[in-house]
Structure 1
Amino acid sequence: MDAPSNRDLSAACIWATAMVAAVAVTDSVLLRALLGVPMVLLIPGHTLLRAIGVRTRSLPEHLAYAVGASLAAAIAGGFALNIIGFLTPLGWAIWLWAVTLGTSLVTAWRRETFDLPPWPRPTGLRPWHGAAFALAVLITTGAYALAVRDESSQQQFKYVALWMLPPANAGAARLAVGVRSAEAQTQRFDLEVTLNGQPLAIFRSLTLVPGSTWTREIPVPVLATTQKAEARLYRPEDNRLYRSVSALVPGS
């Protein structure tokens, strides 16, 4: 195989490697999209066609086959990644990289390739054709940039939920206290529970990761009269009150 026939395969492998690096080291949606869309829709299919020796008569035909082959490789990758539990952005990137690199190596090993179909010669183009194409590109990229900006600027409401109530099957002699974190990062809290203003239970340095829930059941002495229980949640770094809830403990 002569050197010019390998240039497209070399470029495909370089592009695939750059995509894996981008997914591994950055969370940039724009960079991942710029490198990932061609990998999903075109590049693996192109190298796959070269590897199995499919000859096409025109560039549009080759591109159509390449898009279909790329989508087929992506679908197969979805099944494979789901089976091994690696259905993540990095898993997708590694799969597409492996397909591209593997088919490129197969093509180089076979030493039998077909020349790519020639680029079609543009005929009958007018300046307004170019202007329309440029306008379409501008609208598309502008819409995508706005979508990326809106997604990055959207702020979800972050909170910590605190509750206290008698358990369903424990009668009035026990209180259930719970804390659930929906914060963006791990937080630490101190929790104090009082009964009629007197300390009942204290929990220090509760570490809650995002999405985690902490619960406890606290025995409560039952008196003849109704008692008021209160739970207060503090931030240990400044000892400021963060949440407070109360509940009534019925008398016997």
Structure 2
Amino acid sequence: MSDASYRDAIFSTPLDRVARFSFDEQVVACFPDMIRRSVPGYGQILGMLGLIARRHLRHGARVYDLGCSLGAGGLSLAGQLPPEAFRYVGVDLSPAMVTRARETLDTECPDHAIQVMEGDIRTLDYEPAGMIVLNFTLQFLPPADREAVMGRLFAALEPGGVLVLSEKIRAEDEEENAWLVERYHDFKRANGYSDMEISQKRTALENVLVPDTLAEHHARLGRSGFSRAHTWFQLLNFASLVAFKDEAFKDADPSAPRED
């Protein structure tokens, strides 16, 4: 099949009714092209995962990639770290994504400890992990569920562990936010999307992708127990944060109240 068959053309024809966006077979087939042309800085964020892991991941520790889609996070880590350095667990709610990710990672990373499972990150039984990655995943959860998820992830991280959170964001100032959105649409136009495609996809994502502000992300991380969090990357209205679970929590009783 030619590369052109994998080009994202889902919204390239007029639709009488634009359905809610979902990660179905149609999206899976063109997902690499879609995310490359739709997410500013996606390649840079993936490329940093191995560098962050080299600095902060305990040797041989488990890495969760939540909302792993086609396993690009696993491919990036495996390309930068030796097989014994980590155990990768990719989790996605989409059966089509899971099937394709398994095929890709089994083929490309045969020597690494790789597992991909279908699951809901809100109810998953987490095992201790040295690193957790959420690349553009939290934004698809209902806002009311995000706090509990972050608390569960903090509890799953080992002392000294690190969480990488990448998200589409909205600016607190309405004028600034409008400017960022307009420049993002310019970015998509420069990558070959038409005004109709941009408009129809925006409609499909309405109430499906609900972005937070950077301040909301930082506040939530703090309430969940993370001692430090930094915004290490931002390009237009897309950002990535890194948060740390201090060694000081190693002997703490997780059920005991903490003083902020």
Shorter-chain TM-score above 0.5: no
TM-score of the two chains, using structure 2 as the length reference:
0.21
The higher radius of gyration belongs to: 1
TM-score of the two chains, using structure 1 as the length reference:
0.22
